[in-house]
Amino acid sequence: MSYLKSFIQVTFCLVLSFILNIIEWIPSFILISIVNISIIFLYLLSIFFAYKIICNIYDNQTKKALWKTTGYTLFFLSYIGSASIIMIGIGYSKSRYIESYMFEDKSFYVYQNIDLSYEVSVKESVLPLRSLPIATFTTKFTLSKEKHYIYATSKEIYKKIYNLKRNKKEKDE
């Protein structure tokens, strides 16, 4: 039962670090640094729990067999390593921050996706998260405010994307 509990602790640490990596945080250096340090700490904690499992397995063996301990070590190294490879892949698939705009009390963020399109997100009101994209365009643009609407403007684009009065994105036509 102790092995199962420790394996669940390893898995919990890896899943929690995975969730922290998936969440779309606002572009804040301090916040991103705290999240990255937390992810590293969770990985080190999962390695510690894996070490505890391997030590317990080795100590509880009546006939000390090095091949069994090596097998468990390789299993946990590959388990934690595959989780880290998935995390690296997710990190590369994230969008890149371009710039932010502030209109009244709303923060808007422009990001560039891996497919080189540009998207606009809004900061959530309570949590330090950004929303799902409210608009996506293929060319770079700037945001401007006219009356209580936010427009995405460039040479090719002039589109109403957000209503500040109702706090809602404008529907696509």
> In a 10 Å sphere around its CB, with 0-12 CB exposed, 13-18 middle and 19+ buried, how is residue 167 labelled?
exposed
Q: What's the whole-model pTM score?
A: 0.80
pLDDT digits (tens, 9 = 90+) for 91-150: 888 888 889 898 888 889 999 988 889 999 988 878 888 888 888 898 899 999 888 888
Evaluate if residue 87 carries a pLDDT over 60.
yes
User: Residue ranges per domain, the chain?
Assistant: 1-93, 96-163
Instruction: Give the Cα separation of 40 and 92 in Å (integer).
Output: 17
Mean pLDDT within 41-69: 88
Express as a percent the part of the chain with pLDDT over 70.
98
Mean pLDDT within 35-59: 92
